[in-house]
Amino acid sequence: MITQYLFYFLSALAITGAIFVVFTRNPVYSALALIVTFFSIAGHYFLLNSTFLAAVHIIVYSGAIMVLFLYVIMMMNLNLDEEPVKTNFAKFGAVISGCLLMLVLIVALRDAEKMSIQNNISEGLGTVNYLGQVLYKNYLLPFEVSAILFLSGMVGAVLLGKREIQ
Amino acid sequence: MLSTVLIYKALIALGVFAVSLVIAMYSTYGERKIAAFIQDRVGPDRAGPWGILQPLADGGKMFLKEELIPGIANKWLFILGPSISMFVANISSVVIPWARPMVMEDGSTFHFQVSDINIGVLYVFGVVSIGVYGIMIGGWASNNKYSLLGTLRASSQMISYELAMGLSLVALIMTTGSLSLNDIVEKQDADFCNFVYQPLGFLIFIICAFAECNRAPFDLPESESELVGGYHTEFTSMKLGFYLFAEYINMFASSALMATLYFGGYHFPFENELIPSLGENGVRILGFVLLMGKIIFFIFLFMWVRWTIPRFRYDQLMNLGWKSLLPLSILNLVLTGIIMAFTEGWLKF
């Protein structure tokens, strides 16, 4: 019962935060609202019994990525009066692409059936042990390849940063 | 009995909260006395015998000072900043086991720990990584360039040192095979303490802990000589008190973590030989007292270093973090892996 109330609370918090991210004019408020959203999503992971994913979500998204976001926003010191003025062409394009997204969503959701999720998941799903077994036994090669992909991305970023200095 | 366990857990939570507040309070006194000793002064000696009422006087002063919120500051975030700092500092000691687990009458084991999360180490990481928000939000909301500079320094410093800290702990997790702090402590029962296996890891961890607590020689976010007070320049009264107090609670929590992770927590040598003479409970209490002793030693180490080593320059801080500690911790990780591969017999020759 309490998980149900928690679910509603976290969902409300996540959606409110997400809406606030889009609608607030101040970029710092926007980033803070995004942090709240990330925390409520981590709470959802906890409710789904995947503690590892929740902890890593907090460490990576709330603890590292959003700190960097806030850092950059505070460094640039974006003010309200310095907000770039968009041309009519850009506004027109934005309206059209928004309508197209709406259309796609309507088409996708129109035929959606209401289905219940079968609760045949094993107890340990989402724990560190289970995740380790799956990642390092069943999906070892894709896991390692994606790690190399991240490494190459990092090396590329460092290289781009170095080139500007020289 | 779920409810009985719940009441006990609530009592432990309250106890941990009280103990960390009292130790943090007397850390301020200890810091002033140790600074005085190192600088050949007397230190506070007027409030009560040997000045032991000094923390109460300081706290009273903090509460009674005028509350000032600058007109240009962002009011809500200005209040939120110190609150987050204090909150995060207090929740980090939740996963630390304080004494030997007790076997109850119905056969279940009772852990002297607020919460036995099976991802204890990751929880600590999460708390450490969100600890910077209190400083960031408060410093930005002050709308003061010194505060902002302190904030930027704090955030980049914390992000840089988190990585090396994490990697040094990964090596520890590899040797233990569990993320739960209970298991990490229990593993050190029969064996040596983890410090014997991970000396380099401990060195990296303690340096990063200094940086994460914003303690000297890494106290650049609040360096008085350049930034007035850094991120808390604009704060007065108990809001300033919260920032300063959170630093001491963080020191307590990281000392407790170091004692738990690397120095056996509540375990001590020859404790199993002492059980017949002292009884189970006597050993339990002795272990708790010794754990507190270890924690107080690490808090003393924090202060000793602060009054001995001068502050780093900012580029030196970044170089140390990224070019020395991070490669060293990766080296430690690889070495641990290689040694484990030989000793655990994963590789057959």
Q: Is residue B7 part of a domain?
A: no
Task: Please state the three-class secondary structure of B19-81 as a single string.
Answer: HHHHHHHHHHHHHHHHHHHHCCCCCCCCCCHHHCCHHHHHHHHHHHCCCCCCCCCCHHHHHHH
Q: Global pTM? A: 0.83
Q: Is residue B8 part of a domain?
A: no
Distance CA A79, CA A87 (A): 20
Report CA-CA distances (Å) from A5 to A39, A55, A155.
17, 21, 45
Give yes or no for B129 touching A (CB within 8 A): yes
Q: Is residue B305 part of a domain?
A: yes
CA distance B122 to chain A (A): 6
Q: Is residue B271 part of a domain?
A: yes
CA atoms within 13 A on the CB side of A127: 14
Q: Is residue B157 part of a domain?
A: yes
- Measured between beta carbons, the chain A residues lying within 8 angstroms of B125 are 55, 59, 63
Q: What is the token pair recorded at B216? A: 């000297």
Q: Which residue has the tokens 């990751």?
A: B122
Query: Interface pTM (ipTM) of the complex?
Result: 0.80
Q: What is the token pair recorded at B282? A: 């006597």
Closest residue in A to B80 (Cα–Cα): A32
Range of the structural domain that residue B314 is part of: 58-343
Q: Which of B136, B160, B131, B161 is nearest to B147 (CA)?
A: B136
Q: Is residue B153 part of a domain?
A: yes
Q: Is residue B314 part of a domain?
A: yes
> What is the tally of structural domains in chain B?
1
Instruction: Please list the pLDDT of chain B residue by residue as tens digits (349 residues).
Output: 567 778 888 888 888 888 888 888 888 888 888 888 888 888 888 887 888 888 888 888 888 888 888 877 778 888 888 899 899 988 888 888 887 777 777 767 777 777 777 788 888 888 888 888 888 888 888 888 888 888 888 888 888 888 888 888 888 888 888 888 888 888 777 667 777 778 888 899 988 888 888 887 887 777 777 777 777 788 888 888 888 888 888 889 889 888 888 888 788 777 777 777 777 777 888 888 888 888 999 999 988 888 888 888 888 888 888 888 889 999 999 988 888 888 876 665 5
Q: Is residue B143 part of a domain?
A: yes
Closest residue in A to B161 (Cα–Cα): A64
- Contact (CB, 8 A) for B260 and B96: yes
